[in-house]
Structure 1
Amino acid sequence: MADVWLMRHGAYQGHCPGYHAPLDAELTPEGQEQVRRSLPLPDGITGIVTSPVLRARQTANLIAQLTNLPIIETSGLLAEWRAPSLVLGRTPDTYPPAYRVWRERRLAAPSLHCEDGESLSDLHTRARHCAVFLHRTAQQHGPLLAVSHKLLLGMLIRLPDGPLAFTSAASEIWQFAERRLFTTPTNATDKPPTCTS
């Protein structure tokens, strides 16, 4: 069994509670320092996989530079929950009415989309596919560091809870540059993995 370590990217420009960051939000100097302080990595990690979103790629690139580990793959499966474009760069006090209505209805109707955003059901499906991807990649390359985002990571560690795990994932305390061990099963790729701090 090859382990996968899940890591949240470092702090990024504009971060505040409820803020939906644009895809091009960069790591701050503080975020870069958080990544540096996250080292050394656990023994045995052979490579890095990362979300394509800039703040995650910058985190992965910095770790690769500091450790000489290769970035094995950049995968959209590790991307953050795709918030609708109408809320990118906005905070809760400026959310438009369409998004507020969706937020009120999303738990009762997890397949409901808000414009071009990802539904809770779609996010859960992607997290399931991501778990399989991580398992297979670790089997092929050895233990991995997977750099991603709070909501996707929260869904990964709560796969058995289904789409409604979104609420728990959103309230999860997952510090910037924090790592957690995500142990993949040895006998099947469709069983949900477990996570330990």
Structure 2
Amino acid sequence: MTEVKTSLADVRAAYRLIWAYQKRALDTVRLVQELFRGVSFKAWRNNLGNGTPASHVTPFGRDDADFLPIYGTSFLFAKPSVSPGHPREGDWMLEIRIVTDDGINKHLEQTHLGVDPFDKSIFVDPAEAKSLLILIVWKSVEDQDEGTDWVKGIWNYNEWPSDASKANGDVMINEYGSIHSFQVEVPLHDLASRADIEAFVRRSKLVFKDKLGLDIGL
């Protein structure tokens, strides 16, 4: 009984910490959006599950990750286009990713292989894992077909920049050649203040100008 009581106290402490963390994470995303002036919200997605179910949908029998929406999340923003139903040449979308624990990747790979998902030994040690803020710009290099919107028509069907492209500093080009993307990232612990976030965004804009030819403005 004492062990259970102690464990539940740990759970309460953890939830209070997560509450504060998620507020900080969302505030960071909001500030980055503001610094990319003129972009408006398009969609957000839980990258580890299917999203928290709506109130009229039973929560039972779902993936546990569905209830961890800020553990690995993408927020999508774009500038208003003259053709909102389909991006035109030169249009771009900003993806802001929060990766709370990149050590989860090993866990998911092992789980998909049939390993017990509650086996803590398959996680990367928390001290060795990283928490990241990732920015990806997706650029349309040609007019897209009618009805090909940013989220359902492009983002849902294209991969994030590959490990190889990131390692080589290459622009990622989709299989049709119509979408180019590039990624920059920073450990969350390097974003301790507003000034840190502003400096990171300024550096990122310069990278996107160099790699994608986008003059987003400082």
- The TM-score, its normalising length taken from structure 2, stands at 0.25
Bigger radius of gyration: 2
TM (normalized to structure 1)? 0.27
Which structure's residues are more often strand, by fraction?
2
